Amino acid sequence: MSIKICKVTFLLLAGLVAYSSGAIFTRLATTTVEDPQVGFSLFLSASRLVIASLVAIPAWKGFRKAKYSSQSLKYSVFAGLGLAGYLATWMLSLSYTSIAASTALVNTHPVWAIFLAWWWFRDKPRRAALVGTGFALAGSLIISLGGPAQSMVGANPWLGNGLALVGALSNGLYILLGHYAQKNGVKLQHHIVVAYAAAAVVLLPLPLWLHAGYGGYPKITYGCVLLLALIPQLLGHGCFNWALGWVKPQVLSVVILGEPMVASLLGYWTFGEVQGIEVVVGAVILLFGVAIATISQHQPRSTATATQRLEPVSSQLS
């Protein structure tokens, strides 16, 4: 095995572990307060986005020089709304359902991106994508019928699973609009800074509106927020973005589908969270369906249309 292959493999695995740790740090932060409510989850998501936006500040210099039209930037701005909805609902879902169920359901976002493109832009999916969607829906149903896991913070899996699916839909919107932003000439790094900023602006006032605020939490809570920004956000996404220079997007998409498995193992090690058989079986079926749907959309129907197809991959890393 060549040094390059070893390096890419190591970075993909390191990125996957770092990326999967987001659910763990979110759950850890939730356990640091006595009664986590919606406002606290909004505090977590808003703080994570603010830190990510601050890290992305150097990209604004090139953004000003690019002089994009407002028309070309509208997709990035509205993608930021999808990103805000994704982080807010998914992070809240971890207070009510298991880590495995939440991460598996939120990873259906490629399927939602495909169907949003069909509904919104008349970009009809392939038959294989529809078959994959069928598997994903069946897996989602099985997960929803499963009981709560041990050591779970909340005991309302139906609510948590529903929030995770809303997060997946919002993330699908973020990915779809990010695709069209770049199709309209916006560079990836500039799209990211605009989307992050828009999402942060939307989320920042919400904790205050719900009387949660940004102060008065234990030091460990702020430590979890910092770790959320540094490990899954910077390290995880950084490894994946670097790997895109060496592997095909569909390979990276399938690697990222390993998040529920890694997050579940971390959840068992950290919280002793044991999954029911329904969640395990449902997650396997769901992720198998998402993999089919995702890979099928990466196979161009013809050379002439290859650049026109939607590519719902996680190169638009949030």
pLDDT tens track, the chain, 318 positions? 577 778 888 888 999 999 999 999 999 999 898 877 889 999 999 999 899 888 888 878 888 788 888 888 999 999 999 999 999 999 999 988 889 889 999 988 888 888 888 888 777 878 888 888 888 888 888 887 766 555 555 568 889 999 999 999 999 899 889 888 888 888 888 888 899 999 999 999 999 999 888 999 999 999 999 999 889 988 888 788 777 677 776 677 778 888 998 998 999 899 888 877 888 898 899 888 888 887 776 555 543 343 333 344 444 444
pLDDT at position 250: 65
Backbone phi, psi, residue 71, to 5°: -65, -40
22, 232 in Cβ contact below 8 A? yes
Give the predicted TM-score (pTM) of the model. 0.85
pLDDT at position 304: 37
**Residues 185, 119, 71: CA angle, nearest 5 degrees:** 30
Q: What is the per-residue burial (b if ≥16 Cβ within 10 Å, else e) of 28-45?
A: bbbbbeeebeebbbbbbb
The secondary structure element, H or E, covering residue 21 is helix 3-30
**Residues 47, 103, 178: CA angle, nearest 5 degrees:** 65
Please report, for the chain, the start and end positions of each structural domain, with discontinuous segments joined by +. Answer: 3-308
pLDDT at position 12: 87
pLDDT at position 217: 93
pLDDT at position 310: 39
**Helices and strands: H and E segment counts in the chain:** 15, 0
pLDDT at position 166: 96
